[in-house]
Amino acid sequence: MHTIFITGTDTGVGKTRVACALLRRARDRGLRAAGFKPVASGSEHTPAGLRNEDAQALLAESAPGLDYDAVNPVTLEPAIAPHLAARAAGVAIDPLRLDRAYECLAAQHERIVVEGAGGWRVPLNDRTGFDDWVAARRWPVVLVVGMRLGCINHALLTAEAVSRRTPFAGWVANLLPPGQPHWEENVETLRQRIDAPLLGIVPMHASVDVAATQLRWPDETAATP
């Protein structure tokens, strides 16, 4: 499984932490792996230009030798939905540009972890959403479920929507503060209703090191370090 796409039940559910942990796990297996944040909104001006915190985290967990722009080709300042951030910046997000950036990474790496923005159906422009772009490439999707009130409905709806468009490779339960009462029962409810494997449970406040030991790639048979 060369490439996986990470989406979430919502924004702020831990997509970046899971993506970084999967990159760490791939590299621990001796694979040359790279993160890819095709579009990042909510970026800050630095002496090197606009930089996004999530994209920088992916870059730090990628195989050495990559420039920032290789990991995040479209960087937008406003912390709003990508299509709105692009409109505010006076630019258009062209999926062909994202394709070219991905192909450059894919030619040099054995594993690519692509992280979306927000949830599954976030628009990229007036015509295309992340769901359309990923479905056109038939990338397997990993869903990060933030374990909080409302997650069951969000997770089941997203899993259904993903499965209609592209392979659904599995899901991750990410424990969020302040802590969901009865989270174990919620995980079991989702396990019974989602027709894809649970790839791991990430403890609250877990470091990338710890998270990597709790997860497995969809093509691994067991969650062994």
The DSSP annotation for 136-165 comes to: HHT--EEEEEEESTTHHHHHHHHHHHHHTT
Check: CB of residue 25 under 8 Å from CB of residue 61: no
pLDDT at 1: 67
Which residue segments constitute the domains of the chain, with CATH numbers given? 3-214 (3.40.50.300)
Full-model pTM: 0.95
Find the catalytic residue in 37, 83, 148, 154. Answer: 37
Residue 64 makes CB contacts below 8 A (sequence gap 6+) with: none
What are residue 5's phi and psi, to 5 degrees?
A: -110, 130
Phi-psi region of 23 (alpha: psi -120 to 50; beta: other; left: phi over 0): alpha
What are residue 56's phi and psi, to 5 degrees?
A: -65, -35
Phi-psi region of 140 (alpha: psi -120 to 50; beta: other; left: phi over 0): beta
At which residue do the structure tokens 């992916």 appear? Answer: 58
pLDDT at 8: 98
Q: Alpha helices of the chain — where are they, by DSSP H?
A: 15-28, 53-61, 68-71, 82-89, 95-106, 130-137, 151-163, 183-193, 208-214
- Report how far apart, in Å, the C-alpha atoms of 184 and of each of 11, 99, 159 are: 22, 39, 19
- Each residue's pLDDT, cut to its tens digit, for the chain (225 residues) gives 699 999 999 999 999 999 999 999 999 999 999 999 999 999 999 999 999 999 999 999 999 999 999 999 999 999 999 999 999 999 999 999 999 999 999 999 999 999 999 999 999 999 999 999 999 999 999 999 999 999 999 999 999 999 999 999 999 999 999 998 999 999 999 999 999 999 999 999 999 999 999 999 998 854 433
Phi-psi region of 42 (alpha: psi -120 to 50; beta: other; left: phi over 0): left
Phi-psi region of 13 (alpha: psi -120 to 50; beta: other; left: phi over 0): alpha
H or E, element range at 206: none
Active-site residue, 37 included: yes
**For the packed helices 53-61 and 15-28, what is the interaxial angle rounded to 10 degrees?**
10
Pairing of strands 3-8, 39-41: unpaired
